[in-house]
């Protein structure tokens, strides 16, 4: 009788732990989805500023990106931490080594019936793919602006192209780790 109660307590504790992890994961992933949407919108604004050759708007956009990137990193870190907790509860899934593999195989860790988590996962992957495409397009536009500005001679009537007037900041592109994650996702699909 005493053994049975102890076993029930252990099972109940494990279920409570899974529920807490599940809830923390939902909160982190939901916040990450919101930040990724804001980042994508920011990147689209960057595209329009490049196309309009609006250097002041470009600088404002780049300056507003830094806090978004910091938020993204924080929520992503929390998400990865919670997914790792789920993985620790499921030693049979030790083969999921990278953060990206764990995210893509969340159904194996959280259960295929956890629709909310799986929907958030799909949104994160889709937004990451869109951001990668937008980042590539913006870099292409900025590169074309740079090439055009190098071949032109300016008179007093000409304004230099955006790329010649704007010094890109380190925050003008996504952090290398995020881009690598995004690129791996695109390659795997």
* Predicted local distance difference test score (pLDDT) of residue 161: 44
pLDDT of residue 87: 82
Q: How many domains does the chain have?
A: 1
CATH number, domain containing residue 148: 1.20.58
31-73 pLDDT tens trace: 999 999 999 999 999 999 999 989 999 999 999 999 999 999 9
Give the predicted TM-score (pTM) of the model: 0.71
Return d(Cα 32, Cα 30) in angstroms, integer: 5
**Structural domain span for residue 67:** 2-188
Determine the Cα–Cα distance for residues 170 and 163; give it in Å rounded to an integer. 15
Confidence of residue 2 (pLDDT cuts 50, 70, 90): low
The pLDDT tens digits of the residues spanning 127-183 come to: 999 999 999 999 999 887 766 655 444 433 333 344 444 444 444 344 455 555 444
């Amino acid at each position: 009788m005493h053994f049975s109660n102890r076993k029930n307590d252990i099972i109940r504790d494990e279920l409570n732990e899974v529920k807490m992890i599940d809830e923390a994961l939902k909160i982190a992933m939901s916040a990450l989805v919101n930040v990724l949407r804001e980042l994508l919108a920011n990147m689209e604004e960057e595209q329009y500023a490049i196309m309009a050759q609006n250097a002041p708007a470009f600088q404002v956009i780049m300056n507003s990106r830094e806090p978004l990137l910091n938020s993204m990193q924080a929520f992503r870190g929390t998400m990865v931490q919670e997914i790792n907790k789920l993985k620790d509860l499921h030693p049979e899934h030790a083969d999921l080594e990278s953060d990206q593999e764990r995210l893509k195989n969340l159904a194996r860790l959280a259960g295929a019936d956890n629709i909310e988590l799986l929907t958030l996962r799909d949104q994160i992957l889709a937004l990451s793919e869109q951001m990668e495409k937008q980042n590539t397009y913006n870099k292409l536009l900025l590169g074309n602006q740079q090439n055009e500005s190098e071949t032109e001679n300016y008179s007093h009537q000409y304004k230099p192209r955006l790329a010649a007037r704007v010094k890109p900041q380190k925050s003008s592109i996504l952090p290398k780790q995020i881009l690598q994650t995004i690129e791996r996702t695109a390659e795997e699909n």
